[in-house]
């Protein structure tokens, strides 16, 4: 199993920044792609960003240049730095792991293999 615990969600004004963190533990072989997806009320999940086991990073087009994904602590901590936030970024954000490649799950509505409980990000003036 893979365990994922997110933190860092908050309410911010448009143009603001947040950094989400995720503590990761469990079966390494099951988390070839580590990343984040989001889901807003009434909308499908959307893979936002991911890092493959070889370090390849993938972003959905809508966050390129604004969000930065990174890892630390021997890949047991995952971050999502979110800058220039927009109201349309408002959603529950989930830290997630998948046994496949990030290019498959990021930018799609596909279900990841494992995810945490989520952390709410609200962007509003």
| Alpha helix ranges (H) inside the chain | 102-105
**Mean pLDDT throughout 99-116?**
91
Q: What angle do CA 102, 106, 107 make, to 5 degrees?
A: 150
Mean pLDDT, to the nearest integer, of 93-104?
Answer: 93
113 pLDDT band, cuts 50/70/90, is very high
* pLDDT tens by residue, 44-95: 999 999 999 999 999 999 999 999 999 988 888 999 999 999 999 999 999 9
Q: Are 41 and 33 in contact (CB under 8 A)?
A: no
Residues 10-37: tens digit of each pLDDT: 999 999 999 999 999 887 766 689 999 9
> What pLDDT was estimated at residue 11?
98
Per-residue confidence (pLDDT) for residue 93, from 0 to 100:
98
Q: Residue 108: phi, psi to the nearest 5? A: -120, 180
At 1 the pLDDT is: 83
Amino acid 86: pLDDT: 98
User: What DSSP letter does each residue of 55-69 carry, written as one string?
Assistant: S-EEE-GGGTTTEEE
Q: What number of other Cβ atoms are within 10 A of residue 107's Cβ?
A: 20
């Amino acid at each position: 199993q893979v365990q994922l615990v997110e933190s860092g969600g908050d309410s911010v004004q448009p143009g603001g920044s947040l950094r989400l963190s995720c503590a990761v533990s469990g079966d390494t072989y099951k988390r070839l792609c580590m990343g984040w997806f989001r889901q807003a009320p009434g909308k499908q999940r959307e893979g936002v960003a991911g890092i493959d086991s070889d370090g390849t990073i993938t972003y959905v087009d809508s966050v390129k240049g604004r969000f930065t994904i990174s890892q630390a602590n021997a890949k047991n901590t995952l971050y999502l730095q979110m800058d220039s936030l927009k109201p349309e970024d408002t959603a529950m954000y989930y830290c997630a792991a998948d046994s496949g490649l990030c290019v498959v799950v990021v930018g799609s509505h596909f279900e990841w293999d494992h995810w945490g409980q989520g952390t709410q990000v609200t962007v509003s003036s």
